[in-house]
A and B are shown apart, each in its own frame.
Chain A
Amino acid sequence: MTLIDTLLRNRPQFFDEVRQNSELPEKMRTMLAASFVALALYGVLLGATHSLWQSVSSALKLPLLFLATLLICAPVLYVLNSLGTNQRLSQSIVLVLSSISVTAVLLLSFAPVTLFFILTAPDSYQFFKLINVFFFTISGVMGASCLHQGLKIVWPGQPNAAGATRSQRLMFWLWLMLYGFVGSQVAWTIRPFVGYPGVPFEPVRQFGGNVYTNILASLGEILGFIIVK
């Protein structure tokens, strides 16, 4: 937990350690565990408006979402990381995990607010979805900005022949966009996270379908105005 504390309070120190490759496996393990726990706890809240089963299912789905996307995009991360550098993959993974951890912890910090709205405004599916989208967006943006800071420290722009350069940072951002792209499809595939009221619990809404073929409908589903079957 002190690691997460350092990550939140004193990011330059954290990223300095990452740059010096000190204790990377421990960092990875701690951040993986912390983000899992934080996301699972928030998932419980997401499903709470619907039913107990939905809470359990969302608690499993939210960490699964991030992990599955990471696994699917991992080969690309490996190849992009190897282009022109002699670096191991560990630094990249620690950077990704640090950003996910920050996002997860920030999201969890919104949990009291979400709980408040669950208790005081129980029948507003749309509103609930809207505020959750808002919280996710804020946490995600903060996670990305933390990552931006970290990238500048871990991979400063030195024209090193077999080390890190600005192109490595560029590759990382490109990978991050790919991560977002794949992540939205993963989220679409394993929806619902917030149960549709009046409909009994369904672990996964009908398989098939694609978040990008009908963007407007997908946005409508995400914001709670409609559901897409």
Chain B
Amino acid sequence: MTKPITFNQQAADATPAALPQVRMSDASQSGPNMGRSLGQIFIVLVVLLVLVNVPFNSASAGLAQLLPQSTSIVIRDGTLLKGSGPEIYVVDNYKLRRVHSEALQAFFNPKRINTVEDSLLAQFGQGAPVYRLLQCRTEPDIYVVEDGHKRRVAAPPTNPTQSWDQANFVTCSYLARLPDGPTLP
């Protein structure tokens, strides 16, 4: 197979930089810079790989292996959160409100309680506790039931937007049968 002269010249040169660059524009990449960028990318990646794999943990895990298998919790109005203690809180308007057991049964799904770290709970502001508010149709007072006693709520929420802030109606006889407890502020 006959080869043109130029190619023979190239074979003698054996350096890629001597490839004829016929169609060069002003901003072309050529000459000894060829391959340098690829080499730089390669070296940077190798360095990064070594860095993330360097074990600095007692369990000999590098940065790359440290990431927890985290499932994210969605926090919105109505999310139930629980810390290490027994209290359960509901998120309402960026505040945590402690939920009483009766309200929990009535308004929330106990299966959907997210257990989180106390540090996360500590980050939220505290709001008013959530009770199951009861009202009798004939009387204007609103009560909550606690320990078998009924406690009158002195300042019930005036414009409740959440479902758990709205009073449930019960029979007046039921309310009448319960002994009185101290009023709630």
Contact = CB atoms under 8 A, between A and B. Distances in A.
B21 A228 contact: no
Given A86-B25, A228-B74, A78 B41 contact: yes
Interface residues of A, number: 34
Contacts of B184: none
A156 interface: no
Identify which of B24, B30, B75 gathers the most chain A CB atoms within 10 Å of its CB.
Answer: B75
A90 B76 CA distance: 46
B12 interface: no
B74 A217 contact: yes
Contacts of B26: 21
A81 to B, nearest CB: 9
Max chain A C-beta neighbours (<10 A), residue from B25, B30, B120? B25
B169 interface: no
B54 to A, nearest CB: 19
B76 A229 contact: no
A229 B70 CA distance: 10
A91 B29 CA distance: 12
A165 to B, nearest CB: 13
A202 B122 CA distance: 13
A27 B1 CA distance: 51
Given A75-B41, A86-B28, A163-B23, A198 B75 contact: no
A194 to B, nearest CB: 13
Contacts of A220: 74, 76
Contact of A206 (B70, B74, B94): B70
Interface string B68-81: 11101111100000
A197 to B, nearest CB: 5
A198 B94 contact: yes
Interface string B109-144: 000000010001001110000000000000000000
B72 A209 contact: yes
24 contacts: A78-B41, A86-B23, A87-B25, A88-B27, A88-B29, A89-B37, A162-B23, A162-B24, A163-B23, A197-B94, A198-B94, A198-B95, A198-B124, A200-B123, A202-B123, A206-B70, A207-B67, A207-B68, A208-B69, A208-B70, A209-B70, A209-B72, A225-B76, A226-B75
Closest 8 CB pairs of A and B: A226-B76, A208-B70, A162-B23, A86-B28, A198-B94, A198-B125, A88-B27, A21-B27
Interface of A: 21, 24, 75, 78, 82, 86-91, 125, 160-163, 196-200, 202, 206-209, 214, 217, 220, 225-229
